[in-house]
Structure formats: structure tokens, C-alpha cells
Amino acid sequence: LEDPDKAIENGYLIADKLNIDLLDARKRGYHKWVDKKVFKDYGKVSYLD
């Protein structure tokens, strides 16, 4: 996808259906695990520590 926000939204939907964690790797060399509960509740990307 061209839009990074749409990509993370689609990634969330897939990760939720498969019951797996979601890794944000939209930027080269910058990878963090997304807190799926925060994304579901608020629509904002928040990372796990």
C-alpha cells in the first residue's frame, strides 16, 4: 500500500484475525511491536516496551 496509515490499519485487521502480534516496520531500520489494544480502542499507534 502507498499510504502508511492504511497499511498499519490493514496489518492490524490481519493480526487481529490471526491472533498474532503486529510489528510496525514502516520505516527502514525502525521496527517496534504495536500495542493492539490501544490501536483498537483509540486508532493510534502505540508501542509496547
Q: What is the pLDDT of residues 22-44, one digit of tens each?
A: 999 988 999 999 999 999 999 99
What is the CB-side half-sphere exposure of residue 13 using CA atoms within 13 A?
5
How many other C-beta atoms lie within 10 A of the C-beta of residue 16?
Answer: 13
Mean pLDDT of the chain: 94
Q: What is the 3-state secondary structure (H, E, C) of 27-43?
A: ECCEEEEECHHHHHHHC
Q: What is the pLDDT of residue 21?
A: 97
Which pLDDT belongs to residue 49? 81
Going from N- to C-terminal start, the domains of the chain cover 4-42
| Residue 13 pLDDT | 97
Give the predicted TM-score (pTM) of the model. 0.85
CA-to-CA separations, 26 to 12, 30, 36, 47, in angstroms, rounded: 13, 8, 16, 13
pLDDT higher than threshold 90 for residue 1: no
Look at residue 19 and tell me whether its pLDDT is greater than 90.
yes
| Residue type, position 38, single letter | V
